[in-house]
Structure 1
Amino acid sequence: MTGTDVRTAGTECGRRAGEVPVRWVWLAAWPVTAVFVLSNAATPLYVLWQREMGFTKGTLTVVFACYIAGLLGSLLVSGVVSDRLGRKPVLLPALGLALVSCLVFATAGGVVALIVARLCTGIAVGAVVSAGMAAVTDVAGPGRRRLAALLASCAMVFGAGLGPLLAGVLSETLPAPTVTVFAVEAGLLATAVAVVLRMPLRRLTPTAAGGGAWARVPGVPRGAGWQLALGIAVFAPGITATSFVLSLGPSLLSGLLGTGSRVVSGALAFAMFLSATGVQFAVRRLRRRTVLVTGAATTALGMLALVTAVHTGSVPALAAAAPLAGAGQGMGQLGGLSLLNSTVPGARLAEANAALNVGGYLPAGLLPVSAGYLSDAVGLTTGTTAFGTALAALAIAGGGLALVAGRGRIPQDTAR
């Protein structure tokens, strides 16, 4: 059979299976990217707001944690609602709330406005990580579940990295930085709305999602608990590490480099999440257990580099810490999503995605806040050391769990 025959046979097979063109799988990931651009777009602007409003590093981490609170609250509802009513009834209101957040950010005159904007952003992100990522899998179809996990995961981290870079460049080069940044983001969200409206999603069967309360701690079907636990064990330390770099990274840059440049701050965050994106393509052919163990080890190395940076004033160590943290999150996230995609039926997938993210974002909200206030009390060096050491230990424990308990519990195909 010639190469043309193979491609033709593959196309006909896809048509017989009712698969949509592959471009729609990529387009389905765009709303995830657009909302995650918003999730971190404020990062380079905090130095500016901090100077204007006069709040401390502890207050800064509280503002960041309000995003986590909104996200976690959203995850208690959005996954179940999405599985019962469909993806679009969750995604469209989430995108509308994200647009409201842009308006509040653009006109913020105090800490309360920043808190409200971050809270709204968190709610929107919670809906997207459950319904949006499940929508990518739904559009992809049963034969492309590995591709769906890869694209959904990469859409999240790429958007998270693009946001601060875009905000840093726009705020340094154009007038009215906060207005300009969030006007551009509103335009991106408008295109995401257009994609969702046209997204070729299959109609869900409401009874397949199961019964129970509409608002509840999300979970997974019987038999998938170990896969969820293994994913959280590696994903949680990884996303907590990147959350810490995002919340206090500007302060570290100011201390080590003596610069408050929003472009430099945005570039650091972009490098971190670009690493998270690229590493997922690099490891997609590896076994899932290998991806999880490597992700845990990388997170631990990132935290050791961060501790080294604050003790020695080493800029190269800080420059290494960010991409290492990003790579750790990327591999933990890909491994966790791949495990769920391989074991959870589509009718429960949004709730399963929500459960994975609850397990990841809960420590990502609590630990950086604790580290922020500890840094205010005992200094940035001591606070960062305590945080980095604890997080490295958690990452090593998660990797050990994936290595030992994962034998026989992780499907032996690849993570792609």
Structure 2
Amino acid sequence: MRDHGDGDGAHDADGRRVRQGWTRCLLAGAVFVVCMAGTTLPTPLYPLYQREYGFSELTVTVVYAVYAFGVIGVLLLAGNASDTVGRRPALLCGLACAAASAGCFLLADGLTWLYAGRLLSGLSAGLFTGAATAYVMELAPPGGASRATLVATAANMGGLGCGPLLAGLLAEYAPEPLLLPFAVHLALVAASALVLLRLPETVTDRRPLSTVRPQRPALPPEVRAVFVPASIAAFVGFALFGVFTSVSPAFLARYLHVDNHAVSGLVVALAFFASTAGQLAVGRVGVARSLPLGCAVLFAGLLLLGAALATDQLALVVLAALVGGTGQGLAFRAALSAVAQAAPADRRAAVISTLFVVAYTGISIPVIGVGLLADPLGLEGAGLVFIACMLTLIVPAAAYLLHRPIREPSGTGGRTRKP
């Protein structure tokens, strides 16, 4: 009887540890959601800022793209900081940047504040993206790696989708549309900091911040055959998100007469939620098939967006968000897995950083290009030029992948591309 009781006690203790692990994992995921939501919070508000300050589409796209420069800067200078100083200090710093970003938008009385807010938002995302993903997975109980990856993926892209949805709802149905969304987010950031302080640190070998070194991009010869088509797919997917996030609210208002901020926020949110579904589907479809399939779905999403621009149909805009988001999710997660498998173990982090730099370049330079063309060609014309450029990139990448498919990652450290 005593042995049986001891067994029950051990079983109960194991059950408590598992429940505690998942509780911590989900709390870290919730903090991840809050930070990422702040990066897309201004999306449905850009038309209001245009009316408030009287700036052009080019200015909107530059304000948006400043975010990407912040992310790239952190990835290059301190992308591995959480491995050195610990997850919690890096994430607390990210939350501090998120709070400062919200403060800039609350105080905004001109473009300078908007630029500062977007730059700080980019810094917060750069600090969070890798560190929070690792933290969520490390807090999960043993044997929960797959489910923890699902939590991290859903928190990342789901958080990005929650930002425009929250801001759109508050801007449409609550007072002070340019203030309340950021006040709410600031409160959520403060609550997230309290949660983070209650969670344990997972990095045991912590070193001083002075030991953090810039992480130079790298592209070893054995990676290039996989990296080129993978990076093109990542670039196009992020560029599509960038254009959708920065100018779709203005397009919906100007050409489709959709002045409801909640609707414009929902349309953008659908793209991010679809991306989450696409990333989750990679586990079922497999990396080898997901990368060319993602390129094909991105192609379809671009065509739908072109049809929406040409016909001014809201249904096509929604379809473009869903299809394009799914393609982005499929292509990016498969690209990340394929590149990580192809890279030598001692240079894997640097190669992955290179892929992220290429991806985030996609939400800056093409977006600014659309802004430059919007004045002479109009938003519709600029959008069609953008789509044509992206199609010329994605079609050869898809054709190459069909001709020389990558191998399914095996975890053996072998080559990932067929000879």
**Larger CA deviation: 22-31 vs 349-358:** 349-358
Give ranges in structure 1 of 5+ residues lacking alignment.
1-7
Q: Which residue of 2 aligns with 1:251?
A: 250
In the TM superposition, residue 251 of structure 1 has moved relative to its aligned partner by 2.0
| Residue 117 of structure 2 is aligned to residue 117 of structure 1 | yes
CA contact (8 A) 1:130 1:351 kept: no
Separation of aligned partners in 1, 2:247 and 2:169: 19
Q: Which residue of 2 aligns with 1:134?
A: 134
Letter in 1 for 2:274: S
Query: Is the partner of 1:308 in helix, strand or coil?
Result: helix
CA contact (8 A) 1:83 1:348 kept: no
Per the alignment, do residues 35 and 402 of structure 1 end up closer, same or farther by CA in structure 2, a change over 3 Å counting? farther
TM-score by length of 2: 0.84
Query: Is the partner of 1:379 in helix, strand or coil?
Result: helix
In the TM superposition, residue 409 of structure 1 has moved relative to its aligned partner by 6.5
Query: Is the partner of 1:247 in helix, strand or coil?
Result: helix
CA contact (8 A) 1:138 1:346 kept: no
Per the alignment, do residues 146 and 237 of structure 1 end up closer, same or farther by CA in structure 2, a change over 3 Å counting? farther
CA contact (8 A) 2:271 2:322 kept: yes
In the TM superposition, residue 146 of structure 1 has moved relative to its aligned partner by 3.8
Letter in 2 for 1:294: L
Per the alignment, do residues 408 and 331 of structure 1 end up closer, same or farther by CA in structure 2, a change over 3 Å counting? closer
Q: Which residue of 2 aligns with 1:90?
A: 90
Separation of aligned partners in 2, 1:272 and 1:303: 13
Query: Is the partner of 1:178 in helix, strand or coil?
Result: coil
In the TM superposition, residue 123 of structure 1 has moved relative to its aligned partner by 0.7
Map 1:329-344; keep pairs closer than 5 Å: 329-339=328-338
Q: Which residue of 2 aligns with 1:4?
A: none
| Residue 43 of structure 2 is aligned to residue 43 of structure 1 | yes
Letter in 1 for 2:152: A
Q: Which residue of 2 aligns with 1:5?
A: none
Q: Which residue of 1 aligns with 2:370?
A: 371
Letter in 2 for 1:368: V
Q: Percent identity?
A: 30
| Residue 276 of structure 2 is aligned to residue 277 of structure 1 | yes
In the TM superposition, residue 24 of structure 1 has moved relative to its aligned partner by 2.9
In the TM superposition, residue 337 of structure 1 has moved relative to its aligned partner by 4.5
Q: Which residue of 1 aligns with 2:397?
A: 398
Letter in 1 for 2:77: V
Q: Which residue of 1 aligns with 2:298?
A: 299
In the TM superposition, residue 33 of structure 1 has moved relative to its aligned partner by 1.4
Q: Which residue of 1 aligns with 2:266?
A: 267
Q: Which residue of 2 aligns with 1:147?
A: 147
Separation of aligned partners in 2, 1:243 and 1:340: 23
CA contact (8 A) 1:157 1:330 kept: no
1:22-65 alpha-carbon deviations (Å, 9 max, x no partner): 34333332232111100111011111110010000011000011
Per the alignment, do residues 92 and 347 of structure 1 end up closer, same or farther by CA in structure 2, a change over 3 Å counting? farther
Q: Which residue of 1 aligns with 2:359?
A: 360
Letter in 2 for 1:131: A
Per the alignment, do residues 112 and 101 of structure 1 end up closer, same or farther by CA in structure 2, a change over 3 Å counting? same
Separation of aligned partners in 1, 2:350 and 2:206: 14
Per the alignment, do residues 408 and 263 of structure 1 end up closer, same or farther by CA in structure 2, a change over 3 Å counting? closer
Separation of aligned partners in 1, 2:87 and 2:216: 19
Q: Which residue of 2 aligns with 1:99?
A: 99
Q: Which residue of 2 aligns with 1:53?
A: 53
**Larger CA deviation: 31-40 vs 229-238:** 229-238
Task: Kindly name which structure, 1 or 2, has the bigger radius of gyration based on alpha carbons.
Answer: 2
Separation of aligned partners in 2, 1:410 and 1:115: 41
Letter in 2 for 1:311: A
Separation of aligned partners in 2, 1:205 and 1:352: 24
Per the alignment, do residues 363 and 333 of structure 1 end up closer, same or farther by CA in structure 2, a change over 3 Å counting? same
Separation of aligned partners in 2, 1:155 and 1:248: 24
Q: Which residue of 2 aligns with 1:321?
A: 320
Separation of aligned partners in 1, 2:19 and 2:305: 45
In the TM superposition, residue 268 of structure 1 has moved relative to its aligned partner by 0.8
CA contact (8 A) 1:35 1:159 kept: yes
Separation of aligned partners in 1, 2:399 and 2:151: 27
In the TM superposition, residue 351 of structure 1 has moved relative to its aligned partner by 5.9
Per the alignment, do residues 255 and 180 of structure 1 end up closer, same or farther by CA in structure 2, a change over 3 Å counting? closer
| Residue 76 of structure 2 is aligned to residue 76 of structure 1 | yes
Per the alignment, do residues 412 and 394 of structure 1 end up closer, same or farther by CA in structure 2, a change over 3 Å counting? farther
In the TM superposition, residue 296 of structure 1 has moved relative to its aligned partner by 1.5
Q: Which residue of 1 aligns with 2:385?
A: 386
In the TM superposition, residue 380 of structure 1 has moved relative to its aligned partner by 2.1
Per the alignment, do residues 187 and 263 of structure 1 end up closer, same or farther by CA in structure 2, a change over 3 Å counting? same
In the TM superposition, residue 325 of structure 1 has moved relative to its aligned partner by 1.8
Letter in 2 for 1:154: A
Per the alignment, do residues 281 and 33 of structure 1 end up closer, same or farther by CA in structure 2, a change over 3 Å counting? same
Higher RCO, Cα 8 Å, sep 6+: 1
CA contact (8 A) 2:222 2:343 kept: no
CA contact (8 A) 1:78 1:131 kept: no
**Larger CA deviation: 134-143 vs 87-96:** 134-143
- How well do the aligned residues superpose, as a CA RMSD in angstroms? 3.4
**Larger CA deviation: 159-168 vs 225-234:** 225-234
